[in-house]
Chains A and B, each alone.
Chain A
Amino acid sequence: MKLPLQFRHNGRDVALFVDGGTNLLTALREQLGDMTPKFGCEQGGCGACTVLIDGAAHLSCLTLAAAVEGRAVETLESLKDGPRLHPLQQAFMDRFAAQCGYCTPGMLMAAKALIDRNPTPSRAEVVEAISGNICRCTGYEAIIDAVLDAAQKPRARA
């Protein structure tokens, strides 16, 4: 039986029908067409599907879609502002923090969860914030530098 579901997706109210066992990642990608959270392991081990639910980082592959009823879900798509990059995206470009790019959406959302709450994180806090996100290309240093850079900058928008 399909269940009705309503939640806020990147500032927009959405309504859809989901199966009982559908995870949030599938609902976002296949039903709402938001391809920014990535399918990685589907086991909670890689962090590529990280989204913010009510501002806190969650793994969308392990979140039951029905569990976000009435809540606010933000994905990487929420960072876009026409041609303007979010300071985190700009810093990732400047620092060459994305190589294959598969982990990047999750890294950016994990980093956003951190700097929204703590605008001046230490290096150790950045390491901790992205500790659930696996990158197989960069060796992490470029990503950590990029997050620290972005946190230094005045925010283009909240």
Chain B
Amino acid sequence: MPLTLRTCATAAEASAALANERGARYLGGGTLVMRDVNEGDLSFSTLVRTSDRSLNRIETSGQRLLIGAGVTYAALLAERELAFLHPVARSIGGPAVRNMGTVGGNLFAPAPFGDLTTALLALDAIVLTQGGYNPREIAIEEFLAARERNASALVLAVSFARPAGPEAFRYRKVARVKPKGGSVLTIAAHLPTSGGRVTGARIAFGAMGATALRAKSAERALEGRPLDAAAISAAAAVALDGLAPVDDALASAWYRREVAGVHLRRVLSGEA
């Protein structure tokens, strides 16, 4: 059955179409949705897209950074103010995927994909959505917990505070194929310090559950302590709390559980 395509001039129009039409699905860069189209997925009958340029904006002037949902990984790599996210963007796909895939789409990428979302979770991002005519700001953790439901709203942008310093944001993607490969697991950590002690740590794991998940026990193990060997060991020991990896073609759940603590230890120690 041919799909109906609705190309909307504005994001508001697109979000209304998503809310009002049964079987409507939003098409961003295409790297996720077109896979389903090509497979003959019958769960949607209308593709909604928008040519609204406001979804492509990147704002770096304020204390909070804002990245439009339609910004591609390639555009993110071209923005010097977002240099701390460049290792994340570079770890995704080949050049063609980076020219197509978008920040907004990554929020919906099923495991083992969604590396950027893992980074955004560690940065405590806010997701700006528009459902019908109602704009909403949702904490990314809450957004991911109800991701299927949130797919009926249009994601406009993500925003987050600049990381505390160049050393405060850490990222590691473990893949079996170099330079491009799906994630065995991905770790992003934001480790602000105050007076030599970690305060407000955020540790996020990708490919260790259906969505990116926070390792809250590991975060608590670091809280208020200097980032020394003892604190790192304490965090690594409880890394798996709350994570729920599954078997896939890249690694078994067992293997992922075995190596999660090892890689977290390397991230926290600042090892390459």
Contacts and interface: CB of A to CB of B under 8 A. Distances in A.
Contact residues on B (Cβ < 8 Å of other chain), bracket: 20 to 34
Interface string A61-87: 111101100000000000000000000
Interface string B23-40: 000010011001101110
Contact of A62 (B3, B31, B74, B180): B31
B34 A23 contact: yes
Given A64-B34, A127-B179, A20 B94 contact: no
Contact of B99 (A20, A21, A58): A58
Interface in A17-76: 19-21, 23, 42-44, 47, 50, 53, 56-59, 61-64, 66-67
Contacts of B2: 1, 19-21
A43 B38 contact: yes
Contacts of B180: 131-132
Would you call the interface of chain A mostly helix, strand, loop, or mixed? mixed
B226 interface: no
A3 interface: yes
B30 A67 contact: yes
B5 A66 contact: yes
A116 interface: no
Contact of A66 (B7, B31, B35): B7
Contacts of B100: 58-59, 62-63
Contacts of A130: 94
A114 B31 CA distance: 21
B179 to A, nearest CB: 5
Would you call the interface of chain B mostly helix, strand, loop, or mixed? mixed
A152 B96 CA distance: 24
A31 B159 CA distance: 42
A129 interface: yes
Most chain A CB within a 10 A radius of its CB, from B74, B93, B96: B96
A110 interface: yes
Interface in B176-190: 179-180
Contacts of A110: 94-96
Contacts of B99: 53, 56-58
A141 B179 CA distance: 14
A47 to B, nearest CB: 7
B237 interface: no
Interface in A93-136: 110, 113-114, 127-133
B35 A43 contact: yes
B38 A59 contact: no
A11 B46 CA distance: 32
Contacts of A133: 94
A59 B97 CA distance: 7
Interface in B1-30: 2-5, 7, 27, 30
Given A21-B37, A42-B38, A131-B180, A57 B5 contact: no
27 contacts: A20-B47, A21-B2, A21-B37, A23-B37, A43-B35, A43-B38, A44-B31, A44-B35, A47-B94, A56-B99, A58-B100, A59-B100, A61-B34, A62-B31, A62-B35, A63-B100, A110-B94, A110-B95, A128-B94, A128-B95, A128-B179, A129-B95, A131-B95, A131-B179, A132-B95, A132-B97, A132-B180
Interface of B: 2-5, 7, 27, 30-31, 34-35, 37-39, 46-47, 49, 74, 93-97, 99-100, 179-180
Interface of A: 1, 3, 19-21, 23, 42-44, 47, 50, 53, 56-59, 61-64, 66-67, 110, 113-114, 127-133
